[in-house]
Amino acid sequence: MEKAKLQWHPGFSAALRITLHDEMKFLEMHEEYQLSKKPMQIDILIIKKKCDRKIQKAVGRIFRRHNIIEYKSPGDRLSINDFYKVYGYTCFYQSNTDKINQIDPEDMTITFVCSHYPEKMMRHLKEVRKIQAERYGEGIYYLTGDPIPMQLLIVPELSPKENYWIQNLRTDLKAGKEIRHLMEKYEKNRKLKDYEAVMDLITRANWEQMEEEKKMCDALKELFADELKEADARGRAEGVQYGIERGKIEGIRLAKQILSLHEQGNTEDQIAEKCGLSAEQVREILE
């Protein structure tokens, strides 16, 4: 399968909906939230509680009326800048309303989700902002000392029972028992949209392991065939689109370079030599 940048945020949103499935009727999820009436979107996730009912799943017990969630893909790390970016977004979200204090700051929470404990960020928060990390449960740390309730979720440490699909959003699945168990769980829900979205991402993120397992296990070949085929098609489509976008950018850059060289008095032959093109191609652009 051709390499294309994996889109982790939609997969995480789907996995979180699966995790909170029994309580989603009390929640409202917004992806790529538009901060203002002008085009200004952010890739954090907003979850709004529709009522005062307390969420029972451990990752959502901190939730209040408005909950801002920052997710980092497996290869990314949470930095000090990320903290201030999300905190700033949260403040803007609170203030960008028609009425003063329409969103009570006490009705807001911030959740950071990542695969690695952010040592530098936590050291900074402790020393500069007096914010402490207190372990609340498996992989869940409450960040205390700030008016806005915050929590840090370390994905590999979360309870597998409650967060199975979130935990499998990674690139290091192992062929054999681990992937077979994953496919067995998926088979029970493969017709559901969120499971399909999560499985598509997991498949493309672990392509080689999936192919290896497909060869090793005859019993799963048929099941794998559909998922691998669909994931490959999506990956190729995204790769083509990425190539088109890159081509447009490079084309614009090259055209600007040619026009600049022409304005400097270079001949078509000189421009062609400097840009690695034929004189005819240069002539077409200049015309």
pLDDT (0 to 100) of residue 24: 93
Structure tokens at 261: 């060289």
Asked if the model's pLDDT at residue 80 lies above 90, the reply is yes
Least confident of 97-101, 166-170, 185-189, 226-230: 226-230
Q: 163-184, pLDDT tens digit by residue?
A: 999 999 999 999 889 998 998 8
Q: 64 pLDDT band (50/70/90 cuts)?
A: very high
| C-alpha closest to that of 73 among 183, 201, 231 | 201
Q: For 44-54, what is the mean pLDDT?
A: 88
pLDDT score of 268 = 81
Give the rounded distance of the alpha carbon of 95 from its chain centre: 25
pLDDT at 40: 47
Contact yes or no for 80/120 (Cβ under 8 A): yes
Residue 26 has pLDDT above 50, yes or no: yes
Please report the sign of the dihedral spanned by the C-alpha atoms of residue 250, residue 256, residue 260, residue 261: positive
Provide the b/e sequence for 178-210 (b: ≥16 CB within 10 Å): ebeebbeebeebeeeebbbbbbbbbbbbbbebb
- Residue 282 is predicted with a pLDDT of 74
Domain range list for the chain: 8-167, 171-287
pLDDT at 237 over 70: no
User: What's the average model confidence in pLDDT over 127-149?
Assistant: 97
Residue 267 has pLDDT above 70, yes or no: yes
Q: Residue 232 — very low, low, confident or very high, per pLDDT cuts 50/70/90?
A: low
**What is the model's pLDDT at position 119?**
97
Tell me the C-alpha distance between 142 and 164, whole Å.
21
**Is the pLDDT at 37 greater than 80, yes or no?**
no
Confidence (pLDDT) at 76: 94
Cα 230 to chain centroid distance, Å, stands at: 20
Residue 107: is its pLDDT beyond 60? yes
- Chain center to CA of 39: 20
User: Is residue 133 pLDDT above 90, yes or no?
Assistant: yes
Residues in the chain: 287
The rounded mean pLDDT for the chain is 84
Of the listed ranges 44-48, 49-53, 205-209, 269-273, the least confidently predicted one is 269-273
Q: Please tell me which of 62-66, 95-99, 235-239, 270-274 the model is most confident about, judged by mean pLDDT.
A: 62-66
